């Protein structure tokens, strides 16, 4: 099998060249994500992406054929990645519905908080998606919604959640989680992204939990520990505000 040539036309060195290629491809994807989010897909050219990565336009063709290929890669990751993670959580046989809902909300909110630009670009580029991309993208959104509807239905049947409309409740929770991408500053630390995800997960559970289940959770060791953590977070925020003033 012929080896992929390097941008300058020289034959690549196997391991070292592969590592460099991976790094350059990651940089290309990162810059394409940023530019698509800022300018939209139609407002970004492949030359813009090449300039942002420090490559010449001829050189970038060694890594990607066109910007449509980049968008396809991003759409596939953002549309299918969450579905697989949520389905795995929902299929955990010994997990209670409330625990599954909290974990699922953490996953969605955590992804948005960690990489807000990626999710912004998807919303801004919806009108530019070809039929081949729009189909999987919309299917992925439907499947994500279905997993949240499923866990809420399970929770209502188990008496852990109030008798809410599962679809409306699922859309409300997803709306909270997805909006993170629009107010979370880019470049947040892993700790900050996790803190945001935990807060959104608590709000998701609080929006549907039944009064009986709420009391049981509060009285459990895990519930007491979670309350202590929330109190510590509030105390830390209060100290931070006091220091700033």
**Please, are residues 159 and 210 in contact by the beta-carbon 8 Å criterion?**
yes
Q: 71-209, what's its fold?
A: Tetracycline Repressor; domain 2 (1.10.357)
Query: Taking the alpha carbons of 89, 95, 101, 102 in that order, is the dihedral positive or negative?
Result: negative
> What is the distance, to the nearest Å, from the Cα of residue 105 to the centroid of all Cα atoms in its chain?
10
Most distant pair of Cα atoms in the chain: their distance: 69
The overall pTM is greater than 0.75? no
Q: Which residues of the chain are in CATH 1.10.357.10 domains?
A: 71-209
Q: Which residues of the chain are in CATH 1.10.10.60 domains?
A: 14-60
What φ, ψ does residue 209 adopt, rounded to 5°? -65, 140
**Please, are residues 158 and 97 in contact by the beta-carbon 8 Å criterion?**
yes
Three-class secondary structure assignment of 5-29: CCCCCCCCCHHHHHHHHHHHHHHHH
According to CATH, the superfamily of the domain at 14-60 is: Homeodomain-like (1.10.10.60)
Write the CB contacts of 69 (distance below 8 Å, at least 6 apart in sequence): none
Per-residue pLDDT of the chain (245 residues; tens, 9 = 90+): 444 444 444 444 455 667 888 888 888 888 888 888 788 788 888 999 999 999 988 888 888 888 888 888 877 777 777 888 999 999 998 899 999 999 999 999 998 888 887 777 777 777 777 777 778 788 888 999 999 999 999 999 999 999 999 999 999 999 999 888 888 887 778 888 899 999 999 999 999 999 865 545 544 565 556 556 655 555 565 566 566 66
């Amino acid at each position: 099998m012929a080896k992929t040539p390097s941008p300058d036309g020289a034959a690549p060195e196997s391991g070292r060249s592969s590592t460099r290629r991976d790094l350059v491809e990651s940089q290309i994807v990162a810059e394409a994500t940023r530019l698509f989010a800022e300018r939209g897909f139609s407002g970004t050219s492949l030359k813009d992406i090449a300039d942002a990565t420090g490559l010449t336009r001829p050189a970038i063709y060694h890594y990607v054929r066109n910007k449509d290929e980049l968008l396809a890669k991003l759409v596939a990751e953002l549309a299918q990645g969450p579905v697989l993670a949520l389905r795995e959580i929902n299929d955990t046989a010994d997990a209670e519905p409330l625990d599954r809902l909290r974990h699922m909300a953490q996953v969605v909110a955590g992804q948005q908080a960690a990489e807000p630009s990626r999710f912004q670009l998807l919303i801004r580029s919806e009108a530019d998606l070809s039929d081949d991309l729009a189909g999987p993208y919309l299917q992925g959104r439907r499947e994500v919604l279905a997993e949240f509807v499923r866990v809420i239905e399970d929770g209502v049947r188990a008496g852990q959640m109030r008798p809410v409309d599962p679809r409306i409740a699922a859309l409300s929770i997803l709306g909270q989680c997805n909006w993170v991408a629009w107010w979370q500053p880019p470049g947040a630390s892993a700790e900050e992204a996790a803190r945001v995800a935990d807060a959104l997960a608590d709000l998701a559970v609080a929006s549907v939990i039944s009064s009986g289940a709420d009391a049981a959770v509060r009285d459990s060791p895990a519930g007491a520990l979670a309350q202590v953590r929330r109190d510590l977070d509030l105390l830390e925020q209060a100290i931070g505000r006091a220091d700033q003033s």
